[in-house]
Chain A
Amino acid sequence: MTNIESIAVLGYEKVSEQDMITPLEIFKGAALVVSGQISPWQREVPPGKLDVKLVSDKPGVVTMQMGTQIVPDTSLDDEEIFDILYIPGGIGSGAIATDERILNVIRRHHESGKVIAANCSGVAIIARAGILDETPVTCVAAVARGLRAEGINVPTTRRMWVGRPEARIWTSTGSYGVHGGAVALITHYLGREIGTIVSMMFDTLGGIGDAIYDQAGPEFYQHIELETTFQDYFESMLLPQPVTNGIVTPVGVN
């Protein structure tokens, strides 16, 4: 049993609005249910604690990829540990994927037995942290080819989300799959009752039905030529080669 009492969603320059705000709202909604502030029926389970924070990589306002600005709850304290560390995607994710400080925070959480979740191109960040093994993950199409080239198992048929509780890794696709993935994540860790209440609050159950109770989300459509075009266009931005001492270091050449 994994006890979840704290969740941090990472904010950074040019993070995607949908990738960051959607899970943040879903988790904060879950916190209201856990604390008993939202209770559509008389619950037998006593109120509990779930602390959800938007944590920025550095102090100050976060400007997202479409220009929206948001004030984070706090900025990253390298010593702080959260039960779930959630890494969203966005066009700024490439810079974060080469930021050793953030990669170390991710590694430290995973080594401490905590859950790491990521969506969209945020999956590339946790891949660069080196915490993924050979079991499948999912991500946005734009980084799928590049991650495969680095040895990450991204099946051709992508799932909306892939949860691997035994490895404490949860991944979701780009923005469209973020909502379902976040609800499935909290359903798994906080229970079917809380997951269902949250899914009714945000209409997830109506949209994708009982899939929220599964560890793998619905299959995505494939558009091979379009995906290739978008990979060519975005790959260098979202999945830059790491630079060490001014020298580009190839990753996962195999």
Chain B
Amino acid sequence: MPVGYYRGTTPVQFREINWIRGALQTAIALEHATMPLYSAAMYSLEVQNYPSYNTIRSVLMEEMLHMAASCNILAALGGSPRIKDLNPGFPRAGLPGHVAPDLIGVLAPLSPAQMRNFMRIEAPLFMLTKRQADVPYATITQFYTAIKTAIVANAAAVRQAVLDGGPANQVGGNLGYRSIVPRRGVDPVDEILAAIDMIIEQGEGSGVAGIQAGEKFQNEGSHYARFAELYYGRRYLALDSPVALNRDNEQSYFCGELIAWPVVINTLAVPADGYTAVLTRDPESAVVSQELKAFDAAYTAMMVALDDAWNGPPELSWPSLGEAVIQMNEMRVLSCFNIMRYEVPEEVVAKLAEIYPSEYQMMATYTDLKKPVFYGPRFVNMATGSTS
């Protein structure tokens, strides 16, 4: 490998301020791509006050904070976060930015298999197999670390960019979101690095002390740890063990209080066509399509509102953020109380292998096809025709 090159990704000598801005846009897309996956699982819980519901919701809320932090950093550097045209497209392999390329990203109900996917998304490097780890960005942390390295290497340009400012707004500073504004005596580089550390530690843990975030974050369980608790059905306990937590002994660390597995609405894992082939065989397709589209419209409206919060007139930033929250609540209602009421006809479920020969295995893995099967949300951004 030539000196200065970074395992087939953008050579480090070209990672200047423009690259940092572009990589942050990818980070925004990456954070956003996790949320439909987590939301679809959360919506699938029949009763929404289970510990499992609260756990997924807590991770989802922090993913929103992470996305907001990345947006604010990009805005501080003079960029304009592009939100309304984000459209991850599911099912997909990996996350945006070629992160975790072995991941199967599929919109599906909560299940042990899906929890494994969620753990993969949030996994620290030391919990991966050699095959999983042997890519440039095996973890989200590795992607953010590349951004941190470039920020440090271009510190003077970063400081100047923050001073110069840009057209986009800082959003949510008084809600506790990380915002970056020039302040006397405060180095914006330190602030940006601290914001990225928050993202990293809340997701995967401190990287040096198991799967908890560091002291700055009250040693809270990382997203990985919280998902692993649901997977193993027990709370995490930091053992006083001479052997550090690893892939082989992981389960022994989950020996705390029992967590009951919730009752789940058995939604059909969403195929690439967004159920089009299923709907053509469903006598109730008109009304189901209407509900699916209503959800997609709310999702699209939320994305547009978020975009407006960052890129619209500053005085309308708060109302736009409020509109996004309204749409988030609407999405939950439309999914749980409308879409999931509709059962996929048994005769159609019986023919899924024939209808979706290349996706049937995926559907059978994430949905129990022996039980009644229901529709689930598709998360189609109607404002864009492409995926990102």
Contacts and interface: CB of A to CB of B under 8 A. Distances in A.
A76 B236 CA distance: 66
Q: How large is the interface on B (under 10, 10 to 19, 20 to 34, 35 or more residues)?
A: 20 to 34
B166 A1 contact: yes
Interface stretch (A38-46, A56-64, A132-140): A38-46
Contacts of A203: none
A41 to B, nearest CB: 6
Contact of B16 (A3, A41, A47, A191): A191
Contact of B80 (A3, A193, A194, A196): A3
The winner among A44, A45, A46, A193 for most chain B CB atoms within 10 A is A44
Interface in B108-164: 136, 143, 146, 161, 164
A193 B5 CA distance: 13
A41 B12 CA distance: 12
Q: How large is the interface on A (under 10, 10 to 19, 20 to 34, 35 or more residues)?
A: 10 to 19
A3 B9 CA distance: 24
B18 A44 contact: no
Contacts of A192: 13-14, 16, 18-19
Given A1-B161, A190-B18, A45 B11 contact: no
Nearest to A197: B14
A42 B98 contact: yes
Contact of B19 (A1, A44, A47, A48): A44
A136 to B, nearest CB: 23
Interface string B1-43: 0000000111101111111011101100100000000000000
A44 B79 contact: no
Contact of A44 (B17, B22, B164, B388): B22
Contacts, number: 66
B188 interface: no
Contacts of A42: 8-10, 98, 136
B143 A44 contact: yes
Contacts of A47: 388
B96 interface: yes
A3 B80 CA distance: 9
A43 B9 contact: yes
Majority secondary structure of chain A interface residues (helix, strand, loop or mixed): loop
B166 to A, nearest CB: 6
A46 B10 contact: no
Contact of B10 (A3, A48, A190, A193): A193
A43 B388 CA distance: 14
A46 B29 contact: yes
B146 A44 contact: yes
Given A1-B78, A191-B19, A44 B26 contact: yes
Interface in A192-206: 192-194, 196
A84 B18 CA distance: 18
Given A1-B79, A45-B26, A46-B25, A191 B18 contact: yes
Nearest to B101: A42
6 closest A-B pairs by beta carbon, nearest first, are A191-B18, A45-B22, A1-B78, A193-B14, A44-B23, A192-B14
